[in-house]
Amino acid sequence: MQSPDSHPKLAVVILNWNGKHYLEQFLPFVCASTYPNIIVYLADNASTDGSVDWTASQYPSIKIIRNSSNEGFAGGYNRALKHVEEEFMVLLNSDIEVSPGWIEPIMHMFMEKPDVVAIQPKILDYNNKERFEYAGAAGGWIDRFGYPFSKGRVFDVLEKDEHQYDKPAPIFWASGASLFIRHSAFDAVGGFDGYFFAHQEEIDLCWRLQLAGHRIMSCPASIIYHIGGGTLAKNNPKKIYLNFRNNLIMLWKNLEGIDAFMTVSFRFLLDAISAWKNLLSGQSYFFTAVMKAHFGFFSWLLVNQKKSIFPSKRIAKPAGRYMGSVVWQHFAKGKNRFSEIVENCS
């Protein structure tokens, strides 16, 4: 029988903003985890719904970190994690149901692979547990123009989980919905880019980690169930704005020289096509959000670059980057499955 010392401490850090209903629903599953050495933190982004007081009264063993204001996913975690001492952490959304043994396979991978600094479990849809969930599915990839997609999710098409992606493998990005990460690596690259506020900050972080020579892995033996859209709904204009703006910033920061210029320039064209298509379909809010995102990118480029975190090193080529166009493969050629686009990759 192994002693508790053979299980490194794991900090489970749940960022909360007015999510009392999710905490009531899903904290019991977190606390029922079978891993013997976890410390649960609630990092609160200045909630006003009584969720902090409720957690303190119902779960007195949970450590509470109170942020003085809502700085979003990126800034909220950056501030909160300064109060977390454990080397191994999982940043966990509040709208996730975990299974009792969800931690053990990932901690085993960390112990066996010291060059792996971030790991993602398999993420299934809470409302349809046979299908992958949008925010990461079985591991994140990115195409040459910066479009994120996943093993099990191409744009809005979600595959049924038929165990087709059950082999652990290097990935480009691990979902922020359940991001297992080494604290030392997180700190070494500067943490999340707080300028992002929310959306795509985990992709940017994983890109910087890989450029610094680290690996990101999927661990499909660990399974969680995610509701998704708990803070901002899919078609919320602010969410559209942040996704488009942050994607452009991420490309400019992590690519170099002419590659950055050419890629961002082409993305402006693709974004414009998408914006006009939605406008002609009667979705003016989408058009407006994309145009604001482009102005937001130029504002960052000309005035606010100093507020962002750039790669600390560029010593490695990232895995999980598809050097074709997922837009072309999906919309022009009708390919809806990850395995149809990235062949021989399970």
Supply the CATH number for residue 195's domain.
3.90.550.60
Judge if 140 and 215 occupy the same domain.
yes
In a domain, 218, yes or no: yes
Judge if 97 and 211 occupy the same domain.
yes
Judge if 291 and 154 occupy the same domain.
no
Q: Residue 55 CA to chain centroid, in angstroms?
A: 25
pTM of the model: 0.95
In this structure, the number of other CB atoms found within 10 A of the CB of residue 292 comes to 16
Structure confidence at residue 114 as a pLDDT band (50, 70, 90):
very high
Judge if 221 and 288 occupy the same domain.
no
Query: What is the structure's pLDDT at 264?
Result: 98
Structure confidence at residue 231 as a pLDDT band (50, 70, 90):
low
Q: What is the end-to-end Cα distance of the chain in Å, rounded?
A: 34
Number of domains in the chain: 2
Q: Residue 275 CA to chain centroid, in angstroms?
A: 24
Outline where the chain has alpha helix (H).
Answer: 20-31, 51-58, 72-80, 104-112, 183-188, 201-211, 237-254, 257-280, 284-299, 326-327, 338-341
> What is the DSSP annotation of 172-192?
SB--TTEEEEEHHHHHHTTSS
In this structure, the number of other CB atoms found within 10 A of the CB of residue 248 comes to 24
Judge if 141 and 94 occupy the same domain.
yes
In a domain, 251, yes or no: yes
**Domain stop point among 202, 226, 250:** 226
pLDDT in tens, 3-36: 445 799 999 999 999 999 999 999 999 999 999 9
Query: What is the structure's pLDDT at 233?
Result: 63
Structure confidence at residue 235 as a pLDDT band (50, 70, 90):
confident
Residue-range definition of the domain harbouring residue 283? 237-315
Judge if 56 and 201 occupy the same domain.
yes
Judge if 183 and 263 occupy the same domain.
no
**Domain stop point among 170, 198, 226:** 226
In a domain, 323, yes or no: no
Phi-psi region of 163 (alpha: psi -120 to 50; beta: other; left: phi over 0): left
Structure confidence at residue 345 as a pLDDT band (50, 70, 90):
confident
Judge if 54 and 98 occupy the same domain.
yes
Query: What is the structure's pLDDT at 343?
Result: 82
Judge if 282 and 134 occupy the same domain.
no
